[in-house]
Structure 1
Amino acid sequence: MVMSASTFCFLHILRCQIELPRNSGGIIGQELGEASIITFGNSGATLLLIAVFFSGLTLYTHISWVKLMEIVGRNTLVFSMLCYKETALLWERITARKEVTYENEQTNAEPKGIANVTRFEIPEPAKPKVKAKQAPVITFAESTPEVIIPEQLLAQAVVSKKVQTDLFKDVEPGALPDSELLDLRSVSVRSYSNDELEDMSRLVEQSLQDFNVVVEVTAVLPGPVITRFEMQPAAGVKVSRISSLAKDLARALSVTSVRIVEVIAGKSVIGLEIPNQEREMVCFRKGLESSKFIKAKSPLSLFLGKDIAGSPVVADLAKMPHLLVAGTTGSGKSVAINTMILSMLYKATPDDVRMIMIDPKMLELSVYDGIPHLLTPVVTDMKDAANALRWAVAEMERRYKLMSKVGVRNLAGFNKLVSDAEERGEPIQDPMYSYTTELAEGESIPTLSTLPNIVVVVDELADMMMIVGKKVEELIARLAQKARAAGIHLILATQRPSVDVLTGLIKANVPSRLSFQVSSRIDSRTVLDQGGAEFLLGNGDTVMPS
């Protein structure tokens, strides 16, 4: 290192004020310099000396040049970001000062050329300007801002939409009700930002790694009520190990509870659902006005709510064909039943759908008493409930005999056959009419007409099973087994999903399940045949296996 420095000084520093023998490089520099010039030339000798000098410096000081460049680059980035933040903050202050100055000028300005103008006559033109200037200043130094509607603007928007619907206008017979009869509520709530979701993903991975469970978060799906993390477990990791750590994950993530989705249809990942900081209220009117519900052609279309992505969920009861709803008191079960009933009332006329409602509590379904869709008044006595179910079984048998006579396989085919015959002007005579009966003068053999779907709604199955018992179980089992093709469908709700209420005969013939929050894992397995419903949040949070 000394020899290369001396030679470099001899080559490039010709004059030096210090008295040294034989010029600036000394004796060593002069001898090596003359030899290197003869051998490599001036440029080649210079490059060689620089390389030898820095190689010797590296060996002597043990300096890592790569690490040195990383330190310099990191400090440069930190300094540039600091300068950028300070510049953005300064620009924000200048902009805010200009806004305040502009508002003061507008407030203090006096109209010119107009005399005797009072303040009352001015319709406050400054409000829209202040509203436009109150938008937050977005800077690149911060994360994505939260979209929160100010309370004043929200109140103005709600007030502007409150228009009284004409309740006494002429309505055509058989017309469907208008969605304007329902309230329209639109409230924006705060959700997790992208940075928070990224941090929570890393926290989930780290928390599971602390328990020797290796997973990788592959996707995050934020929704109106919950946020789902899709995790890919490492090879050899059992789902049961992750499910057993649900409470530990809830504590690590500082949330009330988490739910582990063991199986996601069409994917090889495991779902982890955590509640949002603020829950979004699901508006029933928005669901009815959604394109998915409007495009649904079935008169038995049901709006069930929103999925984890915020999209409306619309199901067809005719394809289910029966539905079992379970959940504890206060979990949202009765609200769901009312939502299903209203969905059918907004979608179908009494000619399309008729209902039998059984309400042991005498409170939930009594408001529907008197509507034209009911085949019978709302049943509140459980002894009468058995008679209603017995009539439904008899009607099922009658429809099967009738469809067998005309040669169709289901109710849709029967109605299409009858409608086509009426359009041709050739109505079909009733094949089950007894010709031994004498017809009165001017009376003809009755003809067939279209048959409506029949929906049997039971608000509390456990109470009915407790009072009536085996008779009702046999009737429900017969309807669940055979009533699909006859157009008869069941909606059964219970708050006690135990095995003595949901017997094996009923469960085997009611394939569609809708579970709200239940009290234990055993109840969850009774309803869904899998765990997870005990970790739901309540107040409408539900799970429906596909």
Structure 2
Amino acid sequence: MPIRTSPQRHSDPQPQRRQRATRVVYEKHQEPRGISKPLSTETKRILIPIILGLAALLSGLSLFGAAGIVGEFINNFLSLIFGVTRFVVPILLIIWAVLIERDEQLERKSHHVIGFVLFLLSANGLAHVSIPLADMIDTGVQGYRGGIVGLIFAYPLLRFTGIYAAAPILIIFLLMSIMLIFNFTISGLANFMHAVCGRVWRWFADSVMYTRTTVATGEEPLPEISQHRLATADDAAENDVEEEEEVVAEPQAAGDPISGKQEPLPMPRKHSFKPLPAFDLLLANKSKATAGDIKSNGQTIVDTLKQFGIGSELAEVRTGPTVTQYAIHPNKGVKVARIMALSNDLALALAAHPIRIEAPIPGKPYVGIEVPNERVALVTLRELLEAEEFQRRSSNMHMALGKDVAGKVWFADITKMPHLLVAGSTGSGKTVCLNTLILSLLYQNTDETLKLIMVDPKRVELTMYNGLPHLLTPVITDMTRCINALKWTISEMERRYDLLSKVGSRDIASYNKRVPQEKLPFIVFVIDELADLMMQAGAEVEGGIVRLAQMSRAVGIHLIVATQRPSVDVITGIMKANIPARIAFSVASITDSRTILDSAGAEKLLGRGDMLLQTADMSKPKRIQGAFVSEDEMKKVVDYWKADSAPEYNPLVVEKQAHSSTVFGDKGEEHDPLFEEAKEVVLESGKASTSLLQRRLKLGYARAARIIDELEAAGIVGPGDGAKPREILALKSADDIIKNGNTEMLDAMDGETPVEGDEESNDE
């Protein structure tokens, strides 16, 4: 019997545990819905401001006797408690409602409550300051001056300190309450007032200048007035625009070919100063991000890590326009690589994809887990340009990028980059980013301080900028013109270096200060699609870009290159080495991400402007939500500049530079010693290639390629066209061909086949 009953005794508890577990799971799924479920954060953000708004409306109407019996009771109550400051109560309720509605996480911020209480106490106390102590109690109880609240706060203060000390104390408390309510410092208040006064002054100065210009029919404004206007309109005060004179060049005979010396940029015409565009041309931001249930997501992350044996705690949460970053503080002894390997498990637990892990967060002992928001906020260019950081910029070459995961605005100074590579898959926001960068520069510079060269092989992205006075040439869509523009830019770079060396300046800023009458404008070369150019003429395009990237920073020439094909044959290693600043948008694979940034991460971006920024001074890429610019906004800004100014194109930019320096920097007639011998080899063989010169002349690749470029610059061979052989533009004379006995080549020149009798005619 014991042997039979023993299995039953040991097996009885297990079915009971299973039934109990099943019952618990069933009861968990049978939880009541609707009423017992706590209100979501979004619902609270809607309901609380509505309630406060209704209270403000009712209290405001009661002050004027427009709310019936209830309003009369509210008015008497507010009069007894707050006295004359009862008129401030509806305003405070409205401010409180707005602050709650703007609080995305709906956190209980004690400084708001303390600020409201301190404001009422100090305001009511100030209302009681001028009353003698003997009459203060009766006045307060009857609801006059500051009411009961003012009596409670002012009476002991006046009794122990006196009126001359109590008044300054109450004023200081009043200022402190305002700082607590709106969360800013005294310097922030001063900067705000300075910005407001500056805008009012600009508006007044613009109105006066416009009136003077329109009244004086046919007369130009005085130069002194124009310079004064310029100084007040430019916040940076570093690129103050002055009227420039044309650089006198040596006269050329009509019909002479283009000389080997690069001609200077045509100086802008003298005209009255035109103010920079107003921010009203851009759209204001009205959207807000929704992160979802932050507390629940944070607890889910901690619990998921705990299931895999990783102890941690939630340190902080930062909500950005696209993602919300949960900062996790792991326990001591936990390897960061273990957390990095759990990205897919966290995505499964949070039902969110993709999830990016930043380990560690720069400057903090936390691991950042970035979860996509339920609703993405739109970042507009206007809110970036109106930001305080942009108003305090140090130069007029700042470009607006967007906002990071904490909602902080980001800008980049192209003079410090000094060049930028933008890459990403189709539809990821690459072209919108280019337009944002261009408009940022147009909002800071006139056509006297900035010149643009734009290349658009797709013919549809940048053509909207045609007619812009900042352009040196119409938007380039042709391959040959693009190569000529690169060569012209290199020649302009060398010309500027000659100018800097003559006056002893190291960069364009010091040169413009030393020679104010001949200021050099910045030149930004924008290429929208690098892949198309590399497929057609890879060697020349790469050589030109690398040469500019290596040397053009000091003379104010900068590159912005974009591509939607992030492969190694487009973004070459030497190109990446000379362009350290890069922006990566969403890509298809980790290989593409490493091609752009030399690190992973871009494959987990969300698209639509979600980017990773990598510069030379960054240890890790920074995630930023790029600003959005609509086509209508671009058209308004371009039309503003085109309204009163016509572009002055320089035809030399896209013309063939007959004797200009090559992309490798050889000048004029200083050819390689084997130039003539290589010329003979090319003309005798009827074809030209680097490998041919390597075999015939026993040269290395670099020297052979340099000689091929010299032959092209001399007009002997045509430009490279991908895999096709170069065209032979110059042919040997018939005497040289006969001397060498190569009559077949002569027949090929005449388009005839050799027949009997030809030798006799040749001998003659």
Same fold (TM over 0.5): yes
1:236-315 pair list within 5 angstroms: 236-315=333-412
- 1:346 equivalent in alignment to 2:446: no
Q: How does 1:433-472 map to 2 (within 5 A)?
A: 449-472=518-541
Residue 467 of structure 1: CA displacement?
1.4
CA contact (8 A) 1:355 1:375 kept: yes
| 8 A contact 2:325–2:368 mirrored in 1 | yes
- Quote the residue 2:638 is aligned against: none
Q: Distance in 1 between matches of 2:433 and 2:523?
A: 19
Gaps of 5+ in 2: 1-35, 40-50, 70-89, 109-206, 215-271, 619-764
Cα separation, 2, equivalents of 1:461 and 1:264: 33
Over the matched positions of the two proteins, sequence identity in percent amounts to 47
Using the alignment, how far apart are the partners of 1:512 and 1:289 within structure 2? 25
Higher share in helix: 2
Structure 2 letter corresponding to 1:198: K
2:368 counterpart SS class: strand
CA contact (8 A) 1:350 1:372 kept: yes
Scaled by the length of structure 2, the TM-score of the pair is 0.45
Q: Distance in 2 between matches of 1:454 and 1:186?
A: 35
Choose from 285, 305, 327 the match for 1:230: 327
Structure 2 contact 522–556 (Cα < 8 Å) conserved: yes
Per the alignment, residue 282 of structure 2 pairs with 182
The aligned amino acid for 1:319 is K
Secondary structure in 1 aligned to 2:612? Answer: coil
Structure 1: gaps spanning 5 or more residues:
1-81, 86-91, 110-127, 147-165, 423-448
Question: Offset at 1:418?
Answer: 0.8
Quote the Cα distance in structure 1 between the aligned partners of 2:375 and 2:503: 57
The CA distance in 2 between the partners of 1:456 and 1:337, in whole Å, is 12
The match for 2:592 is 523
* Whole-Å separation in 2 of the counterparts to 1:400 and 1:145: 57
Alpha-carbon separation, structure 2, partners of 1:144 and 1:372: 48
TM-score (norm 1): 0.63
Contact 1:299-1:352 within 8 A present in 2 as well: no
Note the C-alpha offset of 1:213.
3.5
Q: Is the 8 A contact 1:516 1:533 kept in 2?
A: yes
CA contact (8 A) 2:524 2:560 kept: yes
Contact 1:465 1:472 in 2 (8 A): yes
Instruction: Give a deviation string over 1:219-272, Cα, whole Å, max 9, x none.
Output: 221122211122334445444433332222111111121111235332343221
For 1:460 and 1:238, how far apart are their aligned partners in 2? 42
1:213 paired with 2:310, answer yes
Q: CA deviation at 1:289?
A: 1.8
CA contact (8 A) 1:246 1:259 kept: yes
**Alpha carbons 2:453, 2:525 under 8 Å: kept:** yes
How far residue 490 of structure 1 moved from its aligned partner, in angstroms, is 0.8
For residues 37-436 of structure 1, the aligned pairs below 5 Å read 144=106, 173-192=273-292, 196-419=293-516
* CA displacement at 1:296 relative to structure 2: 1.4
Preserved CA contact (<8 Å) 1:354 1:374: yes
SS in 2 for 1:347: coil
Match in the other structure for 1:125? none
**Max Rg structure:** 1
Kept in 2, the 8 Å contact 1:261–1:532? The answer is no
- C-alpha contact (below 8 Å) 2:288/2:376 kept by paired residues: no
| Aligned position for 1:149 | none
What amino acid is the match of 2:320?
Answer: G
Count residues with an aligned counterpart: 375
Structure 1 284/483 Cα, relative in aligned 2: closer, same or farther at 3 Å? same
Residues of 2 paired with 1:385 and 1:244: CA distance? 46
Greater relative CO, 1 or 2 (CA 8 Å, sep 6+): 1
Q: Could you say if the C-alpha distance between residues 233 and 144 of structure 1 is closer, same or farther in structure 2, counting changes exceeding 3 Å? A: closer
Query: For the structure 1 residues 207 and 145, does the alpha-carbon distance in structure 2 shift closer, same or farther, using more than 3 Å as the test?
Result: closer
* Aligned equivalent of 1:501, options 563, 570, 592: 570
**Deviation string, structure 1 residues 389-416 (Cα, Å, up to 9, x no partner):** 1111111111112111111111111111
Q: Which residue of 2 aligns with 1:78?
A: none
* Distance in 2, Cα, partners of 1:254 & 1:199: 12
Deviates more, 1:365-374 or 1:174-183: 174-183
Structure 1 residue 208, shift from structure 2 partner: 2.0
More displaced 10-residue stretch of structure 1: 337-346 or 368-377: 368-377
Q: CA deviation at 1:108?
A: 12
My pick for the range that moved more, 182-191 or 392-401, is 182-191
Q: Distance in 2 between matches of 1:530 and 1:145?
A: 36
